[in-house]
Each structure stands twice: as C-alpha cells, then as structure tokens.
Amino acid sequence: MILLPLLTWLEEQYQPDEIDILCGDPQWLEQWVLQHKYFMPPLFHKLHFLPKPNLIEQIKMFFGNYQKKYDLIIFGGGEVLDESRKFPHDGRNIPLLYRNYVSNNKFILLGGFGEHKKHRTKVLHQMLFDQAQFIGARDVRSMKQAQFYVKDKEKKKIKLFGDFCLSLLEEVQEIFKQENIKNTKGKYVLINL
C-alpha cells in the first residue's frame, strides 16, 4: 500500500521518466498494480518490476557495474534503519551494494529510523544520513534520530511526513465519494496489522 502514495509523491517531486522497483516477486507486484491501476497515479505506465539482485549481480553492483544507471535511488518502507527490531535492518547493505550512489549523494531515505546500539551502526547511520540527498521521516522520533546525525546546516534536507498510507486513505475516501458508494448496513471496520 505504501507504493501508491510514494509514486504520487515521486511524480510531484521528480517527474521521472522511468521507475524500476526491486521486489521479491516482480510478477505478483506487476499483476497487483495492473489490477489496481485505477488507484495509480498517471506514472504507473513508467514502472518496471525487477527481482532483487542475486549474489553475482550484487558483486557487480558493488563494483559499480549496474545494468542501468539511475539518477536517484530511494530506500524506503517501514523502518529503513533500525537495529532494535526482531528483524533488524541497520542499513549495512546500502553502502555495500550502492556505494557509487551513496558516495555521490544520489539517494533518499524515506520511512522510520530507530536508535543505534552498536558503534558500527552509529558510524553507518552517520554516513548514510550525512550523504542522503533528502530524508523523509515518518514520525517525530525518526525525525529526531535523523537530526541527531545531520550537521546543523544540512538539517533542512530532513522533512517530517505523515505516514504515506494516510494520504492513500484520503485518496480512497475521495474515490468512494466520487462513486457514491454508501454503506446501508452500518459502519464496521477491521484493521489487519
């Protein structure tokens, strides 16, 4: 669900000609997008779905031999950098796989940012937050975490965003209004987290 409002935001901010999306199951995601294209922003026809790189492709990426050169890479989702979760992601693969983009400030961080516990993670987060072209924090805690690492003169590159799904819910509500969908039996809600 985060994909839809993220695409809308990308169209407004960057007007990309093409967008490649790395995912675990590209065929499934492409089918899902096609089935829900009425929710999609106009740029959905610019999307290409690619599988996550295998080991050989990762080695090529490390040495800068990408299949395609990108102007910008977005690292986003839930907790982008957080070592405190049950399934920690401290960001160690970002500079390893995408070192040319990281060293040339051609990446954005969008999502949640947790605290560090290890010295290695502190150094890594310092580098990633310093090098990021833009940082979109999904909550106040994440914004404070990013501000901790970024130099004062660079703090303007950090913005607090509401969770992207909030804007999606507003769009869905508007679609329901336009289609004049009414609930005649009552109001029941199920949230599956």
Please, what is the average pLDDT of the chain? 79
In this prediction, residues 14-28 reach a mean pLDDT of 87
pLDDT of residue 88: 63
In this prediction, residues 175-193 reach a mean pLDDT of 56
pLDDT of residue 60: 82
- C-alpha separations of 129 from 93, 98, 139 in Å: 15, 15, 16
pLDDT of residue 44: 77
Distance, in Å, from the CA atom of 80 to the CA atom of 193, rounded to the nearest integer, reads 18
Confidence of residue 178 (pLDDT cuts 50, 70, 90): low
Q: State the pTM of this model.
A: 0.74
- Where helices occur in the chain by DSSP H, the ranges are 3-14, 26-35, 55-62, 93-97, 99-103, 119-131, 140-149, 164-178
Q: Hey, what are 175's tokens? A: 């679609």
Distance, in Å, from the CA atom of 54 to the CA atom of 65, rounded to the nearest integer, reads 14
Question: Each residue of 33-67: pLDDT tens digit?
Answer: 888 777 777 777 888 888 888 888 888 877 877 77
Q: Give first-to-last CA distance, the chain, whole Å.
A: 13
Is the pLDDT at 193 greater than 50? The verdict is no
- Kindly report the number of other CB atoms within 10 A of residue 192's CB atom: 3
CATH number of 3-178: 3.40.50
pLDDT more than 70, % of the chain: 80
In this prediction, residues 125-153 reach a mean pLDDT of 89
Question: Domain locations in the chain?
Answer: 3-178
